[in-house]
């Protein structure tokens, strides 16, 4: 049962049934229960059943897409990650007044550090020296070395992740250009800002193009063969958003031909990257298995817990969650 105000002292609290499906310590469970006395919490350390899911008004977790048809009382779904992968379709839910939220705001510090580390590793050829180390080779490479100091960095996406990366790149001396979907005032951590429709006008200036966009139809193949061809020769590409934003075949060709100096990918399409794909043999590619924002990072996990607990508290009290998702926009 939802109600529109926080009850006062002495008033009876009408509880809201809540299922939490993410692994938590006993201390983390108390973050939920103490933060929200209106919630009747059940913490699952096993998969929830279709009979059980039908009893809850609030779910916190993922991995339940095939059970949503049975969640007839569900009013709010809190996902434990930034994206909405596979959940941004109202047709999946029995109720049409469903509210959905991700954990945007939890991953920016960690993922932006991955982005910075990956760019610097490529610029300094550290990945190649690591390859040589595994073969017992002591050899200085005759290869260009680049720097972020004075480089033009294009951040395609300036949300939580993108803005943290922009701040780090700017602190290292880069000229930062932010690309966002809608016009908005220029933040201090960007030197320039433009909307996505002007991406082609700035992409040729970028020494680094960093993508942190959600997976929507608007961003699908955002960096296709044509747009990759507009990038500055010798530039670097980093993608931590969704693999669907980049045409991997075109990217492989650009890397192998030397048109691009390097690429770091934490996401691919398809995912996992299939055996035999040319990217596996690109010496100037750094591919990781979607690990830049894993909840195993202690501080990221703590932020996820805090965001989920706060959103559940808000919804139980009839308030909107932080950063509610848009079904129309897909994030």
Residues involved in catalysis = 242, 271, 290
161-164's contacts with Cβ under 8 Å and 24+ in sequence apart are 161/82, 161/107, 161/108, 161/111, 161/112, 161/115, 161/212, 161/240, 161/241, 162/210, 162/212, 163/108, 163/187, 163/189, 164/108, 164/109, 164/111, 164/112
CA dihedral sign, ordered 210, 265, 80, 298: negative
Burial class (CB in 10 A: 0-12, 13-18, 19+), 300: buried
CA neighbor of 268 nearest in space, from 211, 200, 225? 211
Three-state DSSP class for residue 34: helix
Q: Which of 257, 259, 252, 246 is nearest to 220 (CA)?
A: 246
On whether the CB atoms of residues 122 and 262 are closer than 8 A, the answer is yes
Q: Which two tokens stand for residue 204?
A: 């040729």
How many CB atoms lie under 10 A from the CB of residue 196? Answer: 16
């Amino acid at each position: 049962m939802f109600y529109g105000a926080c009850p006062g002292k002495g008033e009876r609290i009408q509880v809201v049934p809540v299922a939490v499906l993410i692994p938590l310590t006993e201390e983390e469970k108390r973050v939920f229960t103490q933060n929200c006395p209106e919630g009747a919490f059940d913490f699952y350390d096993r998969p929830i059943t279709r009979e059980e899911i039908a009893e809850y008004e609030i779910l916190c977790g993922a991995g339940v897409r095939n059970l949503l048809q049975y969640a007839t009382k569900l009013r709010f779904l809190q996902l434990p990650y930034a994206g909405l992968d596979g959940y941004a379709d109202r047709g999946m839910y029995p109720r049409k007044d469903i509210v959905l939220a991700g954990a945007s705001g939890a991953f920016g510090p960690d993922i932006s550090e991955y982005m910075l580390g990956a760019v610097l590793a490529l610029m300094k050829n550290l990945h190649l020296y690591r390859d040589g180390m595994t073969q017992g080779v002591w050899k200085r490479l005759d290869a260009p070395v680049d720097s972020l100091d004075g480089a033009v960095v294009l951040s395609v996406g300036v949300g939580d992740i993108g803005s943290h990366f922009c701040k780090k790149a700017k602190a290292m001396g880069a000229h930062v250009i932010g690309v966002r979907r809608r016009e908005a005032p220029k933040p201090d951590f960007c030197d320039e800002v433009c909307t996505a429709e002007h991406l082609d006008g700035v992409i040729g200036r970028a020494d680094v193009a960093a993508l942190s966009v959600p997976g929507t139809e608007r961003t699908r193949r955002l960096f296709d063969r044509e747009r990759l061809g507009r990038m500055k020769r010798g530039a670097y590409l980093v993608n931590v958003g969704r693999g669907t934003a980049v045409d991997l075949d075109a990217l492989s060709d650009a890397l192998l031909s030397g048109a691009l100096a390097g690429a770091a990918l934490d996401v691919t399409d398809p995912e996992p990257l299939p055996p035999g794909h040319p990217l596996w043999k690109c010496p100037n590619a750094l591919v990781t298995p979607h690990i830049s924002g894993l909840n195993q990072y202690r501080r990221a996990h703590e932020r996820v817990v805090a965001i989920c607990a706060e959103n559940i508290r808000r919804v139980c009290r009839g308030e909107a969650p932080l950063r509610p998702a848009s079904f129309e926009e897909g994030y």
